Structure 1
């Protein structure tokens, strides 16, 4: 079997025992996970858990102190150039030029990547993300959700097979969040692999095929939403069964009390909010 065939059949992302420290602060303490091709994988964790550090290592912006990681079959330490050609990274805030129109932003990126027919590339992406009518307007006039969709569309120029989304809906209103969720689902439908970090538990519930919780530098649980919910027994209120939410699972496995639960009895429906942010991982 050729190397290219092995690469195409293996996981899009593979992380094995990755460690990273900043002087005395041990941020990652042996992280392991895999992301299947064409899937959406959500990495959850409290503030300082190491989510963004993991993303930076996978996107070759940081070097790990130990362990191995591969992206699209390329080792992030020894084949960094190949990794960068395989990925796109979208940070917590939209990186669009507000003076340019939406279409001009896309054309500019396509030209910087020396791609043929930048105008057609821009028009196709505007149509794909429902921005055609706004394409001639300055990006500075866009709503938060439109700016984020434009930012994601810019990340797709060159058709990278893997995209990292670091807290993509931070600071957005509910309607804008839904717009971004739809854009992320569209990515997966078109075969793009998405590694998502988020501070919103309901976001992971809505989007992810698999969810991993990173706590104190380690992955402490990893599975589908159904598998994670199965970790806790359903609560019963007046003989009505209530399935545990992802929030119940999160606070049970990290050992903290959920916001507003008082004594912190995980699975107590009277004290568990439907959805609340964990915290932003800087």
Structure 2
């Protein structure tokens, strides 16, 4: 882990997606944070020590999902599948499929395994799976503010974790999609899916893979950022802000079975200049806590005793 002293920084962005705005000054206290996302090797130690079963390894109870077709009541997880041709980018179902037997041990489906992927980030972990690992390790999941502060690496106000250019002088500094998503990946970064942690340079805080590779769970419920009016003459900024309430995370959920959502940060290997430009510290995404996918992982923090 790396110790970060904390401090005041400009959180958010007003140049890409509305859910990242407004830019606001916040302060975080010092904390320890994992240098990399939790890997398959590390997650395997947790499972071996505890016998833990992830959500993706457990068949859903139809009583929890009224109207769910009985044939879907099997263990599995969402798996990305490249399309053969251009598709409607508003239809996520074109490239996501619920694959029976896909889980952290079988990241590409029931016939796949972890050989050669030991140092890749663990995937197919739902929020509770990430939190269970963190508790076992004596750690916690970061808040959104802690995560973004760490991702910026000391470069306050820059769009990317390394400056204001995505690929300075053509250098690939993170694992993201090059080409036309979701059917043509030119693999300029060398990876079709996840990459081993530390494959790209660390940021200014010595942290790896804060951008791209896998999205990362945070502890915060998702909602539009709020900015509290400061008292006249006050020079204070919000300290250690937390996200919305569980109820607020459900406010715009019109699905038949509303599921609360946590904030994901960092983007993944599926983010592309042509689609989902969320390979930035300010980027954020709402993820249902009962869902796991082939591009979501996590890392942990330890806060200073206070």
TM-score (normalised: structure 1): 0.27
**Whose radius of gyration is greater, 1 or 2?**
1
Q: As a proportion of its length, which structure holds more helix?
A: 1
Q: As a proportion of its length, which structure holds more strand?
A: 1
By relative contact order (CA 8 Å, sep 6+), the higher-ranking structure is 2
TM-score (normalised: structure 2): 0.26
